[in-house]
């Protein structure tokens, strides 16, 4: 969600094989891309000779359409790893763009501070052994294994140089982190001196996966702007999935699961949103954004308040609680067919926000009752009970309210993560 809970949708496309063209000097090499709905997972199944452990997703924002174009620029982005590992790989996504994406250089380094790389840590990233690649519209590319190690909670800087002019970019609008942009090719620079422009979005970079010596799977936090971290502090990694990752890393014992954030502000379960940068519906994107993650073992499904607040039922009609229940059942069935554990989270109160009406509240209560009692999910997290005002259960607890009566502040985000029974998470 975001100001008035943004609504947009971009989702899973039909499974299909496609060609990813990778060009080197007169090589003409062509690689076969994996199907979009399983792009991360299929590529991540490949064993790595340079690293040992289970390949899991360490960081992976959900992407949408509608980003800005770039011309002869280097884009340097921060990837905050939720788990320790080595043998990193990245995913570049041109999934929501309508023109091919040409990339001439991609590098990764350990972040020193801001856009500055730790000297001596920069590594070239290749795709099929080559530095220069073109990703067709609608496709993704997974890199070769990179000999770099990352710790849980550590930041990597991923820099990509686009030599020409791109079309509308595939992006994640609300990063709540800083991206650095330079004119010309500065992908391999340790210094941040050339990076004179900053934004708070990610472009084309859709995933970081690693071989973890301890983790045995990935938890995907799947939702809207509350999961995306709207109103959390920029650059502090204070979204509830971030806090959950730190809880899992704090023990006891070695960290057994990574956590990735598949939240998109304004996203809905059942319908696409007119503002396309808010993503296609959960029904469309779930297979790719959740079930397509490397090592996925668990999905926490926490979405539906945008459907309710916009009274957005199927086929343009008004919404009912049963509509949302039917949508949840579809997602649960998809997860179970993929042998993935799916945990349902109750929808939090929003009285005082523009979404609230007595009719909307009745739907929310009905949906939450079904989540708690149906037994359809493999487990339940009761965010509603944790976050509501004890004196007024229709409203967010003032101690956790960011001010818009629907999004938690940093302390609220932590309270959400602390409310999760870690025994629900399968490893």
State residue 82's pLDDT score. 98
**In the chain, where are the structural domains located?**
19-33+63-208, 211-424
For residue 414, the model assigns a pLDDT of 98
**Residue 359 in 3-state DSSP?**
helix
Answer whether CATH 3.90.79.10 is correct for domain 211-424.
Answer: no
* pLDDT at residue 342, rounded to an integer: 98
Going residue by residue through the chain, which has 427 residues, state the pLDDT in tens, using 9 for 90 and above. Answer: 443 333 323 333 322 223 233 333 223 333 333 334 344 543 433 344 456 899 999 999 999 999 999 999 999 999 999 999 999 999 999 999 999 999 999 999 999 999 999 999 999 999 999 999 999 999 999 999 999 999 999 999 999 999 999 999 999 999 999 999 999 999 999 999 999 999 999 999 999 999 999 999 999 999 999 999 999 999 999 999 999 999 999 988 999 999 999 999 999 999 999 877 788 999 999 999 999 999 999 999 999 999 999 999 998 999 999 999 999 999 999 999 999 999 999 999 999 999 999 999 999 999 999 999 999 999 999 999 999 999 999 999 999 999 999 999 999 999 999 999 999 999 9
Q: What is the pLDDT of residue 15?
A: 28
CB count in 10 Å sphere of residue 186 = 22
Predicted local distance difference test score (pLDDT) of residue 3: 36
For the record, the structure tokens of 370 come out as 């079904």
Cis previous bond, 160, omega within 30: no
Radius of gyration of the chain from Cα atoms?
A: 20
Which among 293, 377, 314 is positioned nearest to 343, based on CA atoms? 377
> Is this prediction's pTM over 0.85?
yes
pLDDT given at position 353: 98
- pLDDT of 278 reads 81
* Main-chain phi, psi angles of 401, to 5 degrees: -80, 125
Is the separation of the CB atoms in 344 and 328 below 8 Å?
yes
SS3 209: strand
Question: Quick count: other Cβ atoms within 10 Å of Cβ 354?
Answer: 13
Residue-level pLDDT at 51: 65
- The DSSP secondary structure of 212-279, one letter per residue, reads ESS---EEEEEESHHHHTTTSPTTS--SHHHHHHHHHHT-SSS---EEEEEE-TT--SSS--BSGGG-
């Amino acid at each position: 969600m975001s100001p008035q809970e943004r609504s947009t949708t971009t989702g899973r496309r039909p499974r299909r094989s496609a060609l990813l063209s990778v060009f080197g000097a007169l090589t003409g090499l062509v690689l076969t891309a994996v199907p979009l709905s399983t792009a991360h997972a299929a590529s991540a199944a490949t064993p790595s000779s340079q690293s040992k452990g289970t390949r899991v997703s360490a960081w992976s924002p959900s992407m949408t359409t509608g980003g800005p174009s770039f011309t002869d620029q280097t884009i340097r982005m921060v990837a905050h790893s939720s788990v320790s590992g080595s043998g990193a790989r990245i995913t570049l996504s041109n999934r929501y763009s309508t023109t091919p994406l040409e990339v001439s250089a991609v590098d990764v380094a350990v972040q020193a501070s801001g856009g500055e790389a730790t000297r001596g840590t920069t590594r070239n990233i290749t795709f099929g052994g080559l530095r220069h690649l073109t990703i067709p519209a609608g496709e993704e590319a997974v890199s070769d294994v990179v000999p770099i190690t990352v710790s849980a909670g550590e930041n990597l800087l991923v820099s990509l140089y686009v030599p020409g002019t791109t079309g509308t970019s595939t992006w994640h609008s609300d990063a709540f982190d800083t991206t650095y942009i330079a004119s010309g090719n500065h992908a391999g620079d340790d210094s941040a001196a050339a990076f004179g422009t900053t934004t708070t979005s990610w472009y084309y970079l859709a995933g970081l996966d690693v071989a973890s010596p301890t983790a045995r799977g990935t938890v995907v936090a799947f939702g809207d702007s509350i999961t995306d971290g709207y109103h959390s502090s920029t650059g502090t990694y204070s979204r509830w999935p971030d806090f959950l990752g730190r809880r899992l890393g704090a023990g006891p014992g070695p960290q057994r699961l990574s956590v990735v954030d598949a939240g998109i502000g304004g996203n809905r379960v059942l319908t696409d949103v007119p503002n396309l940068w808010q993503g296609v519906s959960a029904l469309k994107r779930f297979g790719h954004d959740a079930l397509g993650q490397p090592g996925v073992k668990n999905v926490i499904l926490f979405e539906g308040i945008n459907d309710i607040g916009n009274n957005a039922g199927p086929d343009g009609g008004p919404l009912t609680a049963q509509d949302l229940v039917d949508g949840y059942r579809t997602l649960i069935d998809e997860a179970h067919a993929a042998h993935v554990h799916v945990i349902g989270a109750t929808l939090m109160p929003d009285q005082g926000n523009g979404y609230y009406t007595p009719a909307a509240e009745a739907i929310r209560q009905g949906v939450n009752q079904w989540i708690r009692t149906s037994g359809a999910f493999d487990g339940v997290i009761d965010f509603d009970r944790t976050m509501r005002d004890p004196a007024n259960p229709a409203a967010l607890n003032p101690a956790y309210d960011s001010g818009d009566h629907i999004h938690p502040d940093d302390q609220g985000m932590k309270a959400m993560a602390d409310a999760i029974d870690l025994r629900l998470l399968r490893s």
